[in-house]
Amino acid sequence: MLPQALLLVILMNINVASTSNIIKTLPGFRGDLPFKLETGYVGVGAMDAVQLFYYFFESEGSPEYDPLVLWLNEGPGCSTFFGFVYENLGPLSFDYLNSIGNKPKLKLNPYSRTKMNLWALDSHMQKLNISDTLSAVQTYEFLRKWLMDQPKFYNNPLYIAGDSYSGITLPIVVQEISDGNRDEHLPPMNLKGYVIGNPVTDTQIDRNYRSMKRNCKGEYMNVDLNNTLCVDDLEVYNERSIKEWEICNKTLQDLYISDVSSSLVYHENLIKQGYRVLIYSGDHDMNIPYVSTMGWIESLNLTVDSRWKPWFLHEQVAGLGAGHTAPEYKPEECC
Ligand SMILES: *[C@@H]1O[C@H](CO)[C@@H](O)[C@H](O)[C@H]1NC(C)=O
Ligand SMILES: *[C@@H]1O[C@H](CO)[C@@H](O)[C@H](O)[C@H]1NC(C)=O
Ligand SMILES: *[C@@H]1O[C@H](CO)[C@@H](O)[C@H](O)[C@H]1NC(C)=O
Ligand SMILES: *[C@@H]1O[C@H](CO)[C@@H](O)[C@H](O)[C@H]1NC(C)=O
């Protein structure tokens, strides 16, 4: 048996690598939190110089068996707090009725998706040279370090999830994990697949569709040559401009380096390797219109096992009417 003193030293060593706290109460929420919330920082990069902040909600089902899901934050400079509170991921939401002035109150979220073990990670809230590829590498390092400290989760099925701009970085993170498993990096990760919503995927495809939808009014074949806006849109764009993110820090946004213009090749590769992939789209989205998402899915030439069909919620056809961040608009249909 390990002497107690030695055990203590080992535990202390582990705590040096990252700082984590179990949060028992939060301002604006009455009483103790009725779920297990851990928050903290994990250092990544040379000398752990970059400290990534995360929330970890332990599953309210059976944490020892439920999947582990890593939710990535949206666009550059955007906090993952957005997903946690507005996109109904986490077990809390704002209680607008009872909030006074700038003192928000929190209430339990009936649409919480915490029947799984869920991290929400601020994956690229940093100033120095942060880019798509670096962010993916750091996110993988975060996962390795966090799991290293929590071996009880080694065998849980692992999924990576996110929406919007994470459509670019997320498939690269999945590829990193897959390559790491192949190269027998520790700890082994039980990677099963990934989930993306209204994903930025290929800046050229997305931007063309976005603008064409607006200016060409759905008519792309017999273009009215007098509609100069539409004609301009049909030309190829080189620069990218996806700048309409909410609750995001403009300074960090401007410092972010977009060095990957398409994640399509990662999807192609990962799908071939047999990972499970769920792609959903809010249909009322002018930024990443679902037609562009359908367009690139079709370009992968996959075989169709089961055709589109309506599905129902409260005896109504469901799945229509959501905006860019679908779970924000349709929480019940999305969880
Ligand atoms: C950021 O990138 C620039 C140019 O590539 C380089 O000169 C600089 O050393 C980098 N800074 C850090 C902190 O990595
Ligand atoms: C474009 O505008 C010209 C001049 O106003 C007009 O003669 C022509 O019929 C228009 N073309 C279409 C397709 O509307
Ligand atoms: C945005 O980020 C910069 C750089 O980290 C920081 O100085 C600034 O205070 C942040 N702005 C807001 C509104 O949080
Ligand atoms: C899909 O099929 C088209 C037409 O046959 C082909 O040009 C394209 O390269 C294929 N794409 C992939 C990803 O296999």
Find the CATH number of the domain harbouring 136.
3.40.50.1820
User: How many whole angstroms from 267 Cα to the centroid of ligand 4?
Assistant: 14
Give the span between the Cα atoms of 23 and 121, in whole angstroms: 16
Lowest mean pLDDT among 72-76, 88-92, 296-300: 72-76
Confidence band, pLDDT 50/70/90 cuts, at residue 265: very high
Q: Give the pLDDT score at 77.
A: 83
Residue 34 lies in a domain: yes
- Asked whether residue 115 is domain-assigned, the answer is yes
The answer to whether position 2 is within a domain reads: no
Residues 237-252, mean pLDDT to the nearest whole number: 53
In a domain, 1, yes or no: no
Q: Is the CB of 301 under 6 A from ligand 1?
A: no
Q: What are the structure tokens assigned to 72, written together?
A: 């990535």
Global pTM reads: 0.81
pLDDT tens-place string over residues 26-82: 999 999 999 999 999 999 998 998 999 999 999 999 999 999 999 998 778 888 887
Is 95 a domain residue? yes
Ligand 4 centroid, distance to 293 Cα (angstroms): 16
Cβ–Cβ under 8 Å, residues 108 and 88: no
Residue 185: what are its φ and ψ, rounded to 5°? -70, 150
Ligand nearest to the CA of 127: 3
State how far the Cα of 152 lies from the Cα of 63, in Å rounded to an integer: 10
pLDDT score of 242 more than 70: no
Ligand 1 atom closest to 128 (CA): 13
pLDDT at 254: 86
Residues annotated catalytic, as ranges: 164, 285, 324
Residue nearest to atom 6 of ligand 1 (CA): 129
Q: In angstroms, rounded to a whole number, what is the distance separating the alpha carbons of residues 228 and 76?
A: 32
Nearest-atom number in ligand 4 for the CA of 301 is 1
Examine the pLDDT at 328 and tell me if it is beyond 90.
no
The answer to whether position 221 is within a domain reads yes
What does 223-281 look like in DSSP terms, one character per residue? --TT-HHHHHHTSPP-S------SSB-HHHHHH-B---SB-HHHHHHHHHTT-EEEEE-
CA distance 103 to 210: 38
Buried b (16+ CB within 10 A) or exposed e, 60-86: beebeebbbbbbbbbbbbbbbebbbbb
Share of the chain above pLDDT 70, in %: 82
The band of 291, judged by pLDDT with boundaries at 50, 70 and 90, is: confident
Structure tokens at 109: 């979220």
d(CA 34, CA 36): 7
Mean predicted confidence (pLDDT) in 271-283: 94
Protein residue whose Cα sits closest to atom 8 of ligand 1: 129
**Rg value, the chain, Cα:** 21
Domain interval for residue 50: 8-334
Closest CA to 90 of 119, 129, 63, 64: 119
Mean pLDDT of the chain: 83
The Cα 239–Cα 187 span in angstroms is 39
User: Is residue 57 assigned to a domain?
Assistant: yes
Across the range 221-227, mean pLDDT stands at 56
The average pLDDT across 188-212 equals 84
Residue 244 has pLDDT above 70, yes or no: no
Q: What percentage of residues in the chain have a pLDDT greater than 90?
A: 50
On the question of pLDDT at 12 being above 70, the answer is: no
The confidence score (pLDDT) of residue 235 equals 45
Please state the atom number of ligand 3 nearest to the C-alpha of residue 125. Answer: 5
Amino acid at 113: R
Domain assignment present for residue 3? The answer is no
Number of domains in the chain: 1
